[in-house]
A and B are shown apart, each in its own frame.
Chain A
Amino acid sequence: MAKDVMEYRKDFPLLMNDTSAYIDNAATSQRPQCVLDAELKFYMEQNANPLRGSYPLGVAATEVYEDSRKVVKEFINASSTKEIIFTRNTSESINVVAYSYALDNVKEGDEILVSIMEHHSNLLPWQMVADRTGARLKFIECDRDDASVDLNKVEELITERTKIVAITQVSNVLGRENPVRAIADLAHAKGAVILVDGAQSTPHMAVDVQALDADFFVFSGHKLMGPMGIGVLYGKKKLLKNMQPFLRGGEMIDSVQRESAKFAELPHKFEAGTVNAAGAAGLAAAIKYIQSIGFEYMQERELMLTTRAMEGIKKIPHVKVFGSDKPEEHTGIVTFAVDDVHPHDVSEILASDGVDCRAGHHCAQPLLQYLGVNSTTRASFMFYNTEDEVDRFLKSLATIRERMGYGN
């Protein structure tokens, strides 16, 4: 039997110390004490440079770091820890694939397929690859109303020339989950590889990279209650093996001569320099925390909060929600616009009422252009948010037009 949410909130020092309603979880989540403890414990009790010293502390540091890799491997059901590479964040993970896989495997005349919903982090690296190789960048467009992707159109877009399909599992603006397994099958049928951006999915749903048949899967620790500065690149072993290192330097080698070097085995080939071991420990603690609660409970709460927000917004004139009208197709994300009021003014007024929301383009400018808006405001929920916080948000939202000088 899951605990009451107020019990879980006590796990989060910031939520206990801050009186505002934090509903900007799609930007970054809050962190429970166990994550903070894991990072602190590393530096207080286990700190040495991992994978180097053979003294007990060096062994302990290595163990913490490599145990964290095992936790991540289980979390996304990779077939081996060799397939789990620690990076700084999702952006870095995607750049590894762009520089170390794509530049060597994409030629002039080839095609790279992304979706219009991509976060800039899953678009700019592919623009770079297209620029440097002469490949063409093509876009899967979603339905403007319900944010769905038409698989028939995807099938038409993937051709014999397509080398890479890069798509987010959940849009950070519209919140809708994409059918990535079906898209993976279409990509594989034409010989392309697929990279799935899991930054916005991993905090909210169980992911099985083998069931998705993703060739690459990337995510960040900080959105799933782990620390900032630690992210993950999963790649199928056969692909990673044939890739060149992204960064070269310390601890990614077997042996070095004056003019050449033999690189280390996976995953260390891709982890040059001193690693973020404390961050990895914190990420593992976050994953264990999620597992102790269970996605079932988290999803139930997030759906309840999303439903409450969307139902409430329906009763406020001049506020439009983007994406599907079904709360279960939002993954906790409610992006909206208030007629005539700029999102920065919306978020400023919400902030003055103690509600923390993000306004802007959410690092997805092409999507907003496609939807015909410059910027929007986004409320995004995590299981630890409360009904009271949603109500405070709705109450403030209902007053905004009047406070900005419009009749209603």
Chain B
Amino acid sequence: MAINSFYSEILTEHNVHPEHKFDLGDSTIVLEGVNPSCGDDIFLKLKLDGDVIADGAFIGDGCAISQASADIMLSMVIGMKKDEALAMAARFKSMIHGEATPEDIEALQEAAALQDISHMPARVKCAMLGWRTLREALDPDSDEDDE
């Protein structure tokens, strides 16, 4: 199995030196995301300016996959409109479930580094944590299934 290459430089760099892991003081939305079985636990903090994610950050603990995925996500969605970010979350979810089109993968940019998760069922929740929390934060009424 190609897990040696799975912990790629992109992933380890976002885990060891995250750009967006800090406490965002002037956030307008704060939502906790937890994976009870692994103990991954983050707080996603977003600052919305009208319909636009003006800034975002996260704090918390978890495995490299959960932390790097959340960091990559924030680097992508800051500056996006809410519906653009939600569309990106949907693309990410389909990639993690092995259902993404080449266009999805292309659009997911750095987040595509996590596409091999689709072969690692035990780690799907870790990769999804940040994105799931983002969706819940932006669209609290969605009753979409998490996994």
B contact residues around A361 at 8 Å (CB): 39
Q: Mark B21-47, 1 if CB is under 8 A from A, else 0.
A: 000000000000000011101000000
Contact at B16–A342, with CB atoms within 8 Å? Answer: no
B12 interface residue per 8 A CB criterion = yes
A371 interface residue per 8 A CB criterion = no
Q: Mark B48-85, 1 if CB is under 8 A from A, else 0.
A: 00000000000001111101000000000000000000
**Among A344, A403, A405, contact of B63 (Cβ-Cβ < 8 Å):** A344
Contact at B3–A404, with CB atoms within 8 Å? Answer: no
Contact at A352–B64, with CB atoms within 8 Å? Answer: no
Q: Can you spell out 20 A-B residue pairs with CB atoms less than 8 angstroms apart?
A: A342-B61, A342-B62, A342-B63, A342-B67, A344-B65, A345-B7, A345-B65, A348-B3, A348-B6, A348-B7, A351-B3, A360-B37, A360-B39, A374-B39, A374-B41, A375-B38, A404-B64, A405-B7, A405-B12, A405-B16
B13 interface residue per 8 A CB criterion = yes
Q: A348-B6, A352-B6, A404-B64 are in contact. List 12 more A-B contacts (CB 8 A).
A: A340-B16, A342-B61, A344-B63, A348-B123, A352-B3, A360-B39, A375-B38, A375-B39, A404-B15, A405-B7, A405-B16, A406-B16
How distant is the Cα of A343 from the Cα of B64 in the complex, in angstroms?
10
A341 interface residue per 8 A CB criterion = yes
B147 interface residue per 8 A CB criterion = no
B86 interface residue per 8 A CB criterion = no
A349 interface residue per 8 A CB criterion = yes
How distant is the Cα of A297 from the Cα of B11 in the complex, in angstroms?
46
A contact residues around B4 at 8 Å (CB): 352, 403
B contact residues around A345 at 8 Å (CB): 7, 63-65
B contact residues around A406 at 8 Å (CB): 16
How distant is the Cα of A329 from the Cα of B65 in the complex, in angstroms?
34
In chain A, residues 317-363, which have Cβ atoms closer than 8 Å to a Cβ of chain B? 340-345, 348-349, 351-352, 360-361
How distant is the Cα of A186 from the Cα of B15 in the complex, in angstroms?
50
Number of B residues contacting the other chain (C-beta, 8 Å)?
A: 23
- List A residues at the B interface (Cβ < 8 Å): 340-345, 348-349, 351-352, 360-361, 374-375, 403-406
Kindly provide the distance from the CB of B114 to the nearest chain A CB, expressed in whole angstroms: 13
B126 interface residue per 8 A CB criterion = yes
Kindly provide the distance from the CB of B96 to the nearest chain A CB, expressed in whole angstroms: 16
A contact residues around B63 at 8 Å (CB): 342-345
The listed residue with most B CB atoms (<10 A of its CB), out of A343, A348, A361, A404, is: A348
CB closest residue in chain B, given A342: B63
CB closest residue in chain B, given A359: B38
Nearest 7 CB-CB pairings of A with B: A405-B12, A352-B3, A342-B63, A344-B63, A405-B16, A374-B39, A345-B64
How distant is the Cα of A361 from the Cα of B41 in the complex, in angstroms?
14
The listed residue with most B CB atoms (<10 A of its CB), out of A345, A351, A375, is: A345
Q: Mark B1-19, 1 if CB is under 8 A from A, else 0.
A: 1011011010011011000
CB closest residue in chain B, given A399: B4
Kindly provide the distance from the CB of B50 to the nearest chain A CB, expressed in whole angstroms: 37
A contact residues around B120 at 8 Å (CB): 348
How distant is the Cα of A404 from the Cα of B7 in the complex, in angstroms?
7
Contact at B7–A403, with CB atoms within 8 Å? Answer: yes
CB closest residue in chain A, given B3: A352
Known A-B contacts A345-B7, A345-B63; the reply to A405 vs B13 at CB < 8 A is: yes
A contact residues around B65 at 8 Å (CB): 344-345
Known A-B contacts A345-B7, A352-B3, A360-B38; the reply to A404 vs B126 at CB < 8 A is: no
Contact at B37–A404, with CB atoms within 8 Å? Answer: no
B contact residues around A342 at 8 Å (CB): 61-64, 67
Kindly provide the distance from the CB of A166 to the nearest chain B CB, expressed in whole angstroms: 24
Contact at A344–B38, with CB atoms within 8 Å? Answer: yes
**Among A349, A352, A360, A405, contact of B15 (Cβ-Cβ < 8 Å):** A405
CB closest residue in chain B, given A346: B63
B contact residues around A404 at 8 Å (CB): 7, 12, 15-16, 64
A contact residues around B37 at 8 Å (CB): 360
A contact residues around B15 at 8 Å (CB): 404-405
Kindly provide the distance from the CB of B86 to the nearest chain A CB, expressed in whole angstroms: 28
Contact at A344–B13, with CB atoms within 8 Å? Answer: no
How distant is the Cα of A62 from the Cα of B111 in the complex, in angstroms?
60
The listed residue with most A CB atoms (<10 A of its CB), out of B1, B37, B38, B65, is: B38
How distant is the Cα of A404 from the Cα of B10 in the complex, in angstroms?
11
CB closest residue in chain A, given B61: A374
A contact residues around B62 at 8 Å (CB): 342
